């Protein structure tokens, strides 16, 4: 018999808080904050404890959602845009179209069979990038989150980093930056502020790690947060 945590995403009343899943972890932060690097360390820690781990990313995480990622990032191999720039609303809906598929095809089945899921970004990114960055209505994002996603991670590790340091770290990494990476610093300042505001509003779920420190210190802090989440999952 599946537990309440393993049920498929479904509509919940606006008055009810969204359910969290103790084995679902997301990593958030600005560009170049170190999410990919930290994700690898968290995966290894869980595997050492004998757990099955599904590491995934957004936008993406299924073949269809990865196609949507390509539409969103909109950069061809030679650096040209593939099509016209999406309107902010189109961008938001494509993010949620990819997320709907990701939740149903990858995240829910993995949680239902007892695996841990670590996602490089999840819905908090939509609040930060499309909400604060693009200025879209957070009420609309909350409605999509409630009715389309229906689930929050039990732990979100927010890798907080100054915009200038993030740019420095990613400089020269990609021959052609994608459409979002080409945004100006004030966009990324709003994104950073929104992540920190969300963390202040949900301090139990969203744990802030200072990502300006050396990588080993950042990884150690993130692993410590994961270990607390592992204890909570055992107790659940
Ligand atoms: N998006 C996504 C939205 O707008 N809305 C949404 O709802 C969602 C889900 C995804 C884009 O989509 C947007 C946000 C993004 O713009 P992406 O390519 O996945 O695109 O972009 P990012 O998630 O930002 O990935 P990045 O690769 O840019 O950042 P990471 O993964 O945080 O950084 P990482 O680990 O690759 O590290 C970058 C470099 O810094 C070094 C690493 O070695 C690497 O070279 N580094 C450090 N160096 C020194 N000290 C440290 N502590 C370091 N940590 C990492």
**Nearest CA owner, ligand 1 atom 34:** 34
| Residue spans of alpha helices (H) in 74-214 | 88-102, 108-112, 123-125, 138-144, 163-170, 185-201
In a domain, 60, yes or no: no
Residue 13 maps to a domain: no
Asked whether 95 lines ligand 1 (CB < 6 A), one says yes
Give which of 189, 151, 177, 214 is closest to 81, Cα–Cα.
177
User: Domain for residue 187, yes or no?
Assistant: yes
Structure tokens at 115: 């695996």
Residue 176 has pLDDT above 80, yes or no: no
Look at residue 11 in the predicted model and tell me its pLDDT: 47
Q: 58 CA to middle of ligand 1, Å?
A: 11
CATH number of the CATH domain containing 143? 3.40.50.300
3-state secondary structure of 7: coil
119 lines ligand 1 (CB under 6 A): no
DSSP class of residue 10?
A: -
Ligand 1 center to 62 CA (angstroms): 19
What's the pTM value of the predicted model, to 2 decimals? 0.92
Question: Does residue 87 fall inside a structural domain?
Answer: no
Indicate if ligand 1 lies below 6 Å from the C-beta of 29.
yes
Between 236 and 49, name the one with better pLDDT: 49
Q: What is the mean pLDDT of residues 178-207?
A: 93
Does ligand 1 lie within 6 Å of residue 74's CB atom?
no
Q: What is the pLDDT of residues 196-216, one digit of tens each?
A: 999 999 999 999 999 999 999
Tell me, in angstroms, the distance from the centre of ligand 1 to residue 181's CA.
Answer: 10
Q: Are 47 and 178 in contact (CB under 8 A)?
A: no
Please count the structural domains in the chain.
1
Domain-embedded: residue 172: yes
34 lines ligand 1 (CB under 6 A): yes
Contact 232, 154 (CB under 8 A): yes
> What pLDDT sits at residue 80?
85
- Measured CA to CA, the distance from residue 40 to residue 46 in angstroms comes to 10
Mean pLDDT on 187-198: 97
Specify if 211 maps to a domain. Answer: yes
Mutate to test the pocket of ligand 1, among 99, 106, 125, 185 (most ligand atoms within 8 A of CB): 125
Residue 16's pLDDT is 63
* Residue 134, domain extent: 19-55+113-235
Query: Tokens representing 134?
Result: 């693009």
**Residue 2 scores a pLDDT above 70:** no
Q: Is the pLDDT of residue 21 over 60?
A: yes
Q: Which residues of 57-66 are buried (b: 16+ CB within 10 A; e: fewer)?
A: bbbbbbeebe
Range from 20-29, 81-90, 193-202 carrying the lowest mean pLDDT: 81-90
Residue 207: in which H helix or E strand, if any? strand 206-210
Residues 39 and 55 sit within 8 Å (Cβ to Cβ) = yes
Instruction: Give the tokens for residue 229.
Output: 């989440």
Instruction: Please give the pLDDT value at position 15.
Output: 52
């Amino acid at each position: 018999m599946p537990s309440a945590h393993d049920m498929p995403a479904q509509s919940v009343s606006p008055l009810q808080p969204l359910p969290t899943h103790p084995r679902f972890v997301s990593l958030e932060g600005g560009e170049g904050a170190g999410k990919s690097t930290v994700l690898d360390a968290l995966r290894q820690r869980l595997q050492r404890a004998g757990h099955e781990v599904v590491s995934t990313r957004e936008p993406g995480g299924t073949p269809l959602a990865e196609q949507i990622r390509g539409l969103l990032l909109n950069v061809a191999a030679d650096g040209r845009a593939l099509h016209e720039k999406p309107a902010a609303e189109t961008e938001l809906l494509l993010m949620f179209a990819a997320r709907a598929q990701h939740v149903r095809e990858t995240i829910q089945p993995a949680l239902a069979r007892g695996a841990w899921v670590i996602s490089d970004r999840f819905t908090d990114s939509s609040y930060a990038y499309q909400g604060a960055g693009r200025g879209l209505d957070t009420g609309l994002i909350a409605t999509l989150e409630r009715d389309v996603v229906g689930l929050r991670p039990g732990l979100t590790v927010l890798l907080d980093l100054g915009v200038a340091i993030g740019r420095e770290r990613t400089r020269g990494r990609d021959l052609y930056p994608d459409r979002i990476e080409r945004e100006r610093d004030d966009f990324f300042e709003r994104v950073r502020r929104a992540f920190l505001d969300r963390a202040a509003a949900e301090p139990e779920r969203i744990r802030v790690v200072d990502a300006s420190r050396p990588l080993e210190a950042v990884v150690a802090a993130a692993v410590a947060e994961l270990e607390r989440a592992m204890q909570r999952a055992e107790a659940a």
